[in-house]
Amino acid sequence: MNIKEMCILLSSISFFAYVASYFLTPHMKNEFKRFNLDKLGLLTIILELLGAMGLLIGLKINPILIISSIGLALLMLSGLIIRIKSKDSIWISFPALFYMCLNAYIFLAAIQ
């Protein structure tokens, strides 16, 4: 297994976990409420689910990998911007930054 494949697995498993936590714990829903974005919570979770599935499918079908990885990177960029505007600490904002960079790396590796 190469580095790109390990990154794909890490990202997809993480996003599946985020999706599960949205439905299993109140924390994620409370975060969307805190940002005054509770109406976008379910849409965001659906996009994360599609992105995670797309990364796995992308292991075999590269165009799906390209679309999924850039989509997740942009979704995390949006999340990072929201956290910065909300004046969240770097510690709280770090996961959005990390997954934005991770999926940007996957995207760049997929287009080469």
Tell me: the pLDDT tens digits for 33-70?
999 999 999 999 999 999 999 999 999 999 999 999 99
CB within 8 A of 73, min separation 6: which ones?
99, 100, 101, 103, 104, 107
Given this model, what pLDDT does residue 19 score? 97
* Rounded percentage of the chain residues whose pLDDT exceeds 70: 100
Longest dimension (CA), the chain: 41
Model-level pTM? 0.95
**Mean pLDDT of all residues belonging to the chain:** 97
Q: Strand, coil or helix: what is 62?
A: helix
